Structure 1
């Protein structure tokens, strides 16, 4: 497992990543995923040690992105009609409409579509307080051609 050196922004925020190997197809960690997610339908590759962590240094409040929590946010069996369709899926389905095996398939979200927005944590006695706001991103600030101070590519 490898860690990037966290980058500190404005002495206020720390951003760091962890990279690791693919979750094993058998064993206690795999069992933990299947039990914790209440499904045996898992993606073929899960990078269980890969994380992105954003920390507010003064408050020790964290937003963490990880595979387990991302998979927990997937509604595997409900709202099947909302599963995204891949190109040509309708044509394929019609060509197989007389295929009796399709009648026995249990539907689940095989696209693993997640609405995961991160996991909020605290390593202090402070806690997150989320509230609705009418503030918007400063688009002019985003348009500035400033150097990129942090970049990493992650696969959950």
Structure 2
């Protein structure tokens, strides 16, 4: 999706592009930025394996790519990156999916040495975003100190207004970032992406983990966040997480195709997958 908006249009809705060399914009108290970088090199991979205490990573890890949404007055920052997502994968430690091709996959990492599949090779993650707060201090000039925090997300019954999101409101900024991807030795796909779009009234994002193990299993874990700008002082972020999952056998029993080629686009087939978990939270962003 290509979005072309000139500076005059941005200014009319209280927005401006980030300085040259950065991709994103500032709008009504928010700074939204995306960063796209190449996959990790072999040295980076070794460092990540040490930090994560694993000898397994996805084939393609875009470790320096990220999406950052920062509320300027409060310093509240919601961001998305591959390292934290893989930390979640390591912590959840799901049992490996049993597949007919398992014998073949035992040799995927070390061709001359049999490797037992004793880890979740699908890299399924419960990750729904990262949080930090930047604190500005005055030491001759303003600097920022960033530390880990736990923002107070409350359970809620409110839902993201998808009808409003489907309106013809102009899109001021759009981007999609791949965080990691693995083709499961040509037996499917494991993909984590985050998409963001900014309109004059709000921002919206979709973090999606999509797994298809050909002939065996499909898994979809979506996290959506929506923030209406309002007066910009104490905005509310709604966050919906929805996990769906089904085996090819179960789908076939319902009359759906059993051919993997029919399931290349998760957006099209998501409604066929039964929900196994759904929860909604909201965050009241308080200005400092």
TM-score, length-scaled by structure 1: 0.74
Tell which has more relative contact order, 1 or 2 (C-alpha 8 A, sep 6+): 1
* 1:24 equivalent in structure 2: 41
Unaligned runs of 5+ in 2: 1-19, 104-113, 137-148, 180-288
Select the residue among 56, 63, 73 that pairs with 1:41: 56
Select the residue among 116, 127, 139 that pairs with 2:127: 116
**SS, match of residue 50 in structure 2:** helix
State the distance in 2 between where 1:122 and 1:75 align: 25
Root-mean-square deviation (Å) = 2.8
Superposed displacement of residue 56, structure 1:
1.2
* 2:163 equivalent in structure 1: 140
Deviations 1:103-125 (A, max 9, x none): 96232111111121111011028
**SS, match of residue 114 in structure 1:** coil
Distance 1:3 1:16, change over 3 A: farther
Specify which structure has the higher proportion of strand. 2
Distance 1:30 1:104, change over 3 A: closer
Kept after mapping to 2: 8 A contact 1:76/1:108: no
Unaligned runs of 5+ in 1: 97-102
Aligned length: 138
**SS, match of residue 73 in structure 2:** coil
State the distance in 2 between where 1:33 and 1:104 align: 20
* 1:71 equivalent in structure 2: 86
TM-score, length-scaled by structure 2: 0.43
Deviations 1:64-83 (A, max 9, x none): 111111111104784316x4
Superposed displacement of residue 132, structure 1:
1.3
Q: Counterparts of 1:83-98 in structure 2 under 5 Å? A: 83=97, 89-90=99-100, 92=101
| More moved, 145-154 vs 59-68 | 145-154
- Is residue 12 from structure 1 mapped to residue 35 from structure 2 by the alignment? no
* 1:99 equivalent in structure 2: none
| More moved, 131-140 vs 16-25 | 131-140
Kept after mapping to 1: 8 A contact 2:23/2:35: no
Distance 1:113 1:52, change over 3 A: same
State the distance in 1 between where 2:92 and 2:24 align: 38
State the distance in 2 between where 1:75 and 1:50 align: 20
Kept after mapping to 2: 8 A contact 1:77/1:109: no
Distance 1:135 1:109, change over 3 A: same
Superposed displacement of residue 153, structure 1:
2.1
